[in-house]
Chains A and B, each alone.
Chain A
Amino acid sequence: KQEVTQIPAALSVPEGENLVLNCSFTDSAIYNLQWFRQDPGKGLTSLLLIQSSQREQTSGRLNASLDKSSGRSTLYIAASQPGDSATYLCAVRGQGGSEKLVFGKGTKLTVNP
């Protein structure tokens, strides 16, 4: 059974700092991995989707990497801003293109002005 772990559970940084969020998964046979952000009481916003054949994806100040063989993904946020404060979730989809996403518990990020 696939399990997804995100460390740390919470992170507080000063504005302007570069930071890395970690995601690990137990079964390396994944189809793809998706990073989301969630503001309190709101829905999920898709940030990046990495296919199993890819090593990284970039969108603006965000860069996500994937090392499938070691079961790890990282989300790098450059020059953090207070508006980046949210909970970041990673989710993996099983090989074969399963419709089911398995989520980690998320990392709650606070960027202090």
Chain B
Amino acid sequence: DTEVTQTPKHLVMGMTNKKSLKCEQHMGHRAMYWYKQKAKKPPELMFVYSYEKLSINESVPSRFSPECPNSSLLNLHLHALQPEDSALYLCASSQGGSLEQYFGPGTRLTVT
């Protein structure tokens, strides 16, 4: 099973809302990632968790707050977002930080 699942598939939120994106994998992977992808652009790394600890934060604004409750789950908490934060948010996992990454289907986020 090489599946990474993400919920919800689509999310529309206002600039004053608080919402969360969820990512789950059951492959025993120890590294999990959040990426942001704008239309016709490659994915941009936001955060990396390795063994449930935050190892990389690519200078992401504090309105994005990651959380890794356990080795299978990764959340991205959203608060006071801007319209320019509208994008496809992708989660990925890998056995180790340098190994093959497997991506989820993404959450399409629209901020109004």
Contact = CB atoms under 8 A, between A and B. Distances in A.
Contact of B48 (A45, A89, A91, A100): A100
Contact of B31 (A34, A91, A99): A99
Contact of B97 (A42, A46, A99): A99
Contacts of A44: 43, 90, 92, 103
A74 to B, nearest CB: 18
Q: Majority SS of interface residues in chain A? A: strand
A69 B87 CA distance: 36
Given A41-B88, A42-B106, A89 B42 contact: yes
A103 B101 contact: no
Contacts of B100: 34, 46, 49
A103 B56 contact: no
Interface in A14-73: 31-32, 34, 36, 41-46, 49
Given A43-B103, A46-B100, A46-B103, 11 more contacts: A41-B108, A43-B6, A43-B104, A44-B43, A44-B92, A46-B101, A46-B102, A97-B98, A98-B97, A104-B42, A105-B41
Contact-size category for B = 20 to 34
A99 B35 CA distance: 13
A101 interface: yes
Interface residues of A, number: 23
Interface of B: 4, 6, 31, 33, 41-43, 45, 48, 50, 55-56, 88, 90, 92, 96-106, 108
Nearest to B49: A99
A86 B59 CA distance: 31
Given A43-B90, A44-B90, A89-B42, A101 B97 contact: no
17 contacts: A32-B98, A34-B100, A34-B101, A41-B106, A42-B106, A43-B103, A43-B104, A44-B92, A46-B103, A49-B99, A49-B100, A98-B98, A99-B31, A99-B97, A101-B45, A104-B42, A105-B42
Contacts of B92: 44
